[in-house]
Amino acid sequence: MPSNRELFFRYLGQTSAFPLAVEIERAEGVYMYGQDGKRYVDLISGIGVSSIGHRHPRVVQAVKDQAEKYMHLMVYGEFVQSPQVKLAELLAQHLPHSLNNVYLVNSGSEATEGALKLAKRHTGRTEIVCFRKAYHGSTQGSLSVMGDERMKNAFRPLLPDVRTLDYNAIEQLDQISARTACVIAETIQGEAGAIVPENGFLQALRQRCNETGALLIFDEIQAGFGRTGKLWAFEHFNIVPDILLLAKGMGGGMPIGAFVASAEIMQSLSHSPVLGHITTFGGNAVCAAAALANLEVITENILWEGVLEKEKLFRETLRHPAIKSIRGKGLMLAVEFENFEQNKRIIDRCLESGVLTDWFLFADNCLRVAPPLIITNEQIVDACQVILDAIE
Ligand code: PMP
């Protein structure tokens, strides 16, 4: 009998020549358990997903309860489905008034797709501005606004009329013009290696969008739901985007995403043409129930409040001459090493010692620290010790 590992390589479409190929039997809280009983600390939350930990009991219960009632009934936007409306209401209650209308989708990429279409439709303009080293998804529209030529070139032609600027470069913002439908930016860049906007960059971007009438889209697919120490990362900068993208940490481990705007902007998708954006599974009832429970857990416990203290503990504990810097905010951190080879050696040794981490798509010399927000101080210190031992 072939092992699951053999079947994985034989039958599943592969995305790289060197997958981790770890097989997990069960996961709970910050831990994942392999078949041999080996325990791993999940220091990356399945890349920003398991923010309230694996298999949170409230989420598991919500999934079970909803599955007992109904799962799929009808395509998105036709039936009144209680988990969807309650989720949208709770989101709106925790967002500024201008972000009061929620379109539910299945993933981050789809949230990006929907938002780009909404911006073009609402403004009647075509140009889209994005940033270098940005990651917004892997579908053709979201790939078009990825800030990396190497990843894009093999798949051209992509969307036309896309302009790429440098993140944090205020002097380039005058390239945003009255032709620009929207500017899409990660509030804190993820795959670039946890790059925090500096010196009023996002405020200047908001200002330029106001001057030109371009819609401002913030992608908080990685940074949202408390990860950076506020419920929403844009709260650090005292500005509000016109469209907000959510996914990953939204579903408590179930697949769901959203693009959020004002009702006034969002109504552009309901006429001329009608059905301007359609999804069969978007906001699936079971996923929406999970997302509702997830958001309740986060907001009832104000989970983001302890995050900055935990960041501090990581920064204080991860001290070593080989560490060049630690970038990022909250529990969205990048530990910078000299080069990829060194970083990869450390990551491999961490995995052997039961700590799962990885590098970033556009910063392969940086080690990713993005654990569940519920990680305890003791677990942080233990994980840091594994990393420090791996450096030695
Ligand atoms: N935006 C950001 C900032 C992301 O980190 C990701 C996923 N890494 C996406 C969009 C795409 O999300 P998904 O993989 O769910 O399509």
CB 94, CB 299: distance < 8 Å: yes
**Strand pairing partners for 181?**
none
User: What CATH code is carried by the domain that includes residue 244?
Assistant: 3.40.640.10
Residue 109 CA: nearest ligand 1 atom is 16
Same domain, yes or no, for 291 and 214? yes
Radius of gyration of the chain (CA): 21
> Does residue 175 lie within any of the structural domains?
yes
242: number of Cβ within 10 Å: 25
> Which has the closest alpha carbon to 285: 73, 60, 106?
73
Q: Cβ(285)–Cβ(303) under 8 Å?
A: no
Residues 334 and 272 in one domain: no
Distance from the CA of 202 to the center of ligand 1, in angstroms? 20
Q: Is residue 372 lining ligand 1, measured as CB closer than 6 Å?
A: no
17, 123, 198, 369 from 359: Cα distances, Å: 16, 38, 23, 9
Query: In terms of domains, do 288 and 318 share one?
Result: no
DSSP 8-class letter at 173: G
Query: In percent, how much of the chain has pLDDT > 90?
Result: 99
**Is residue 4 domain-resident?**
no
| Four-point Cα dihedral 48, 52, 53, 55, nearest 10 | -110
Task: Evaluate if residue 36 carries a pLDDT over 90.
Answer: no
Structural domain range at position 202: 58-300
Does the C-beta of 108 come closer than 6 Å to ligand 1?
yes
Contact 127, 144 (CB under 8 A): no
Residue where a domain stops, chosen among 285, 300, 315: 300
Of all protein residues, the one whose alpha carbon is nearest to atom 10 of ligand 1 is: 136
Work out the angle at residue 177's Cα, subtended by the Cα atoms of residues 169 and 237, and round it to the nearest 5 degrees. Answer: 45
Residues 93 and 203 in one domain: yes
**Contact 227 CB / ligand 1 (< 6 Å):** no
- Phi and psi, residue 252, nearest 5°: 60, 25
Calculate how far, in angstroms, residue 48's C-alpha sits from the geometric centre of ligand 1: 9
Average pLDDT in the chain: 98
Measured over the CA atoms of residue 304, residue 309, residue 312 and residue 313, the dihedral's sign is negative
**Nearest-angstrom CA–CA distance, 200 and 202:** 6
Mutate-to-test residue for ligand 1 from 248, 287, 329, highest number of ligand atoms within 8 A of CB: 248
Neighbours of 110 (CB within 10 A): 27
Whether 208 and 79 map to the same domain: the answer is yes
Does residue 367 share a domain with residue 248? no
Strand order in the sheet with 359-360: 325-329, 332-336, 363-369, 359-360
Read off the pLDDT of residues 309-355 as tens digits, 9 standing for 90 and up. 999 999 999 999 999 999 999 999 999 999 999 999 999 999 999 99
Ligand 1 contact via 247 beta carbon (within 6 Å): yes
Residues 282 and 140 in one domain: yes
Q: Does the beta carbon of 135 lie inside 6 Å of ligand 1?
A: yes
Residue 107 Cβ inside 6 Å of ligand 1? The answer reads yes
192 neighbors 134 (Cβ within 8 angstroms) = yes
Same domain, 235 and 362: no
Q: Is there an atom of ligand 1 within 6 Å of 253 CB? A: no
Ligand 1 binding pocket includes 136 (Cβ within 6 Å): yes
- Tell me if 13 is assigned to some domain: no
What stretches of the chain show up as alpha helix (H) in DSSP? 4-11, 45-48, 57-69, 82-93, 108-123, 140-144, 149-152, 201-212, 263-266, 285-300, 307-317, 340-352, 377-391
83 and 138 belong to one structural domain? yes
pLDDT in tens, 134-179: 999 999 999 999 999 999 999 999 999 999 999 999 999 999 999 9
Nearest CA to ligand 1 atom 5: 222
88 and 219 in a single domain? The answer is: yes
Instruction: Give CA separation, 207 vs 47, 130, 202, 211, 234, in Å.
Output: 32, 16, 8, 6, 14
Q: Which of 283, 300, 317 is the last residue of a domain?
A: 300
- The alpha carbon of 71 and the centre of ligand 1 are apart by a number of angstroms equal to 25
Q: For residue range 218-231, what is the model confidence (pLDDT) as tens digits?
A: 999 999 999 999 99
Tens of pLDDT, residue by residue over 221-262, are 999 999 999 999 999 999 999 999 999 999 999 999 999 999
Token couple for 83: 């988990």
315 and 272 assigned to the same domain:
no
Does residue 37 form part of some domain?
yes
Together in a domain, 276 and 221: yes
Q: Count of domains in the chain?
A: 2
Residue of 47, 49, 51, 109 best suited for mutating to test ligand 1, as the one with most atoms within 8 Å of CB: 109
Q: What is the pLDDT of residue 35?
A: 87
pTM of the entire structure? 0.98
Q: Whose CA is nearest to atom 12 of ligand 1?
A: 108
Note whether residue 15 is domain-resident: no
- Confirm whether 163 is domain-assigned: yes
